[in-house]
Every structure is written in C-alpha cells, then in structure tokens.
Amino acid sequence: MNTKLRIAVVGAGYWGPNLARNFRANPEWDLVAICDLDRDRAQRVADGVGGARVVTSLKDLLESDDIDAVAIATPAATHHGIARAALSAGKHVMVEKPLADTGVKGRDMVRAAADRGLVLMADHTYCYTPAVLKIRELVAEGALGDILFIDSVRVNLGLIQPDVDVFWDLAPHDLSIIDFVLPGGLRPLSVSAHGADPLGAGKACVGYLALPLANGAMAHVHVNWLSPTKIRQMIIGGTKRTLVWDDLNPQQRVSVYDRGVDLSLQAVGGEARRESTISYRLGDTWSPALPEHEALGAMATEFARSIREKRPARTDGESGLRVLAVLEAATRSLAAAELAPVADIRASADDLSLIGEAS
C-alpha cells in the first residue's frame, strides 16, 4: 500500500468545504491544511472536517514540505497566480473551473506544469458523476455510433453573479462534459454566442452557444439564470443510437434510445434516389443502472492516481484550455455579432419584377 498523498485546500468560500470534506474522506489523501486569507473562514472549514492546520499565507503554505498537492477554490482571476506559485514550489495542482479567466493565463499554467512534470488537473466535477462516466463509456465503445448533435440545456432561477455572465458561470459545466465525452475532446470549428440582458444587469443572463463540429455535427448549449423551472438535460444524437441525460430524474437519469433516421448514401440517382433510402428505426429504450457515488470523491481519487501513475488526469489542464477557448470565443462572438437583418414586410417597388406568374 502506498502512503497517502498530502493536500491543502486553498480557498474556504463556497466550494472549498466540499473539497475539504471529500479529500478528508478519501483513502488516497491526507488533508493537511486549509488556507484562506480569512482565518475564521478557514477555521470553520477545518472544524467541519474534524480539524486541519489553518494557514493564512499562501507563501507559508507552499514552503511547507508536508504538502504534495493543492486544490484551488478561489475566484477565477486568482487561479493563475496561485497555481503558478504552487507549481514553482513543486506541488501538484487541481483548479476549480474555469481553469483561469483567460486562455493566455491557462496556457501558461499548463506549460509550467508540463515543464516541471507536475499534474495540473481541472476540477470539472460533473465529469466524475456516475451518469457522465457512463455516457463517456458508451460513446467510447461506439454504442451511439458517430455523434451527430449534442444539445445541452442548463436553466433555472440562478444567482446573478457579480463578476461573470451566464456563459462563464454555467456553460463550463456543459462544455467540460461535452469535452469529456467526445472522443478527442471539444474542438468546435467555430463558436457563435447569443446572449440577452433583458433586465439590464450589465451582462448576459440568457445565453446560447452554437458550436459546429467536424463532419457536419453540431453542439449547442442553452444556459439561463431567469427560468423558473430547472432543466438539466443533454441529448446526444448518434448514427446508431441517441442518448438523453436528464439529471433531475434520479430514477432514470440516462436513457439510450435505439431510434433514429438512417440515410443510405449510395447516391446513385441524386436527390430522388436518396430520399427513397431514408428509413426510421423505432427500437427499444434502455436505461443503464448507475452506481451511487459522489462525483467529488471520484475526482479526488483520479487526482491521486494521475499523480502516482505520472500521467495526465482525465480532466487535465488541456481540457480546461479547450473549455476556456470556447468561453473566450463566445465573448468575442457576443461583442462582434453581425447578424442577418430581417426584411421589412411592407411591399417594395421591386417586388413585382421578382414574381413571374402573378400580374
């Protein structure tokens, strides 16, 4: 049996306590310290898990030689600074999503980890839920065939964040999941974002992301802070089967439909012939039993194993960069939107000339 790895949690706000609780409970890890500028807050987190050293100086923390790794749960704008310092001190690093607040900073973190042979892991928590692990497995083994489209909806009455819009707040979940289940990761050909700020909050509260993929496929994400009903649903359409993940239906989260459209493509005679070879499958539905485990526990285990096995974590820094790249492109798309204007519906003088058969 290996000795336990030793970790400190940096940041005792909303997410830190969850990390602390899971590292404490995980047999791979020894939770050593909680670090936060606010000593009381750190102390409460430490008390909540049965005690841990409380540290208020990051510098002091990183100089400790009883720490192998840090888990960072601070505001996104501070991720780069903390992670870089930790990597320089030789610590493995896990970072809450998003990896950083800019792609430039994220890439610098990835490079710094690679240079030192340290693990840099993105805390894409949803990827370690039983449902998403099963979806990844089904896609990988070809159960769905080639992916045709992914439609992800994540809406509810949500807190309007002070620092980020609805894309940066919610879409990292959808994007990291799509990145995790797609073989090869999320690599859209382009990004088109549409947002609305109908309350005048100063940022998009309703958002849509269209992500064309290779081979004519498309991913699409709908995130929304203003919906009174909560929807957490992803449809993944494939050439063989289509999967629906409804995260709010604990009795049947994942359903695999053996239904679809088949289009034979021996286009011998063009259009007419092609139509005649469309066929529909209306087969059974199957819902796999899912094990019960907490996602954060599985993530803590993966972090430990990637360190011990000297390999990238399943949600490594690169996956964090792919998510960041889409978020940054979304922001650019929002800023630059040039859209198709709608024609005036009033008749114009040159309408007549366009119509042949009417007088």
Half-sphere exposure of 242 (CA within 13 A, CB side): 17
From the CB of 305, what's the least distance to a copy of itself, in Å? 24
Q: How far is the CB of 164 from a copy of itself (least distance, A)?
A: 13
295-308 vs 16-25: helix crossing angle, rounded to 10: 70
Nearest distance from C-beta of residue 253 to a copy of itself, angstroms: 11
Residue whose C-alpha is closest to residue 55's, from 89, 32, 76, 72: 32
**Considering the complex, what minimum distance in angstroms separates the CB of residue 230 from a copy of itself?**
6
**170-193: burial string, b at 16+ Cβ within 10 Å, e else:** bbbbbbbbbbbbbeeebebeebbb
- Residue 28 CB, shortest distance to a copy of itself, in Å, is 22
Task: Considering the complex, state which of residue 227 and residue 301 has its C-beta at the smaller distance from a copy of itself.
Answer: 227
Instruction: Give the span between the Cα atoms of 148 and 146, in whole angstroms.
Output: 6
Quickly list H helices, 27-181.
Answer: 39-48, 58-63, 76-88, 103-116, 130-140, 166-181
| Encoded amino acid at 6, one letter | R
> Considering beta carbons, is residue 268 or 282 the nearer one to a copy of itself?
282
- β-strand partners of 34: 9, 54
The kind and range of the H/E element at 352 are helix 351-354
Minimal distance in Å, beta carbon 39 to a copy of itself? 18
Q: Which lies closer to a copy of itself via its Cβ, residue 149 or residue 294? A: 149
Interatomic CA distance for residues 132 and 290, integer angstroms: 10
Cα–Cα distances in Å, from 339 out to 95, 330, 346? 37, 15, 21
Considering the complex, what minimum distance in angstroms separates the CB of residue 80 from a copy of itself? Answer: 6
**1 vs 358, which CB is nearer to a copy of itself?**
358
Provide the minimum distance between the beta carbon of 41 and a copy of itself in the complex, in angstroms, as a whole number. Answer: 17
Residue type, 350: D
Give residues with Cβ within 8 angstroms of 281, minimum separation 6. Answer: 258, 259, 260, 261, 262
Among 118, 63, 67, smallest CA distance to 92 is for 118
Considering beta carbons, is residue 1 or 336 the nearer one to a copy of itself?
Answer: 336
- Number of residues written out for the chain: 359
Please, which residue, 13 or 288, has the CB nearer to a copy of itself? 288
Which residue lies nearer to a copy of itself by CB, 66 or 263?
263
Min separation Cβ 296 and a copy of itself, Å: 19
Residue found by looking up tokens 């309007």 in the block: 160
CB of 18 to a copy of itself, least distance (A): 17
Q: How many CA atoms lie within 13 A of 195 on its CB side?
A: 25
On whether the CB atoms of residues 226 and 157 are closer than 8 A, the answer is: yes
Comparison of 27 and 51: residue with beta carbon closer to a copy of itself: 51
Q: Nearer Cβ to a copy of itself, position 35 or 323?
A: 323
CA distance 93 to 122: 9
In terms of CB distance, is 66 or 252 closer to a copy of itself? 252
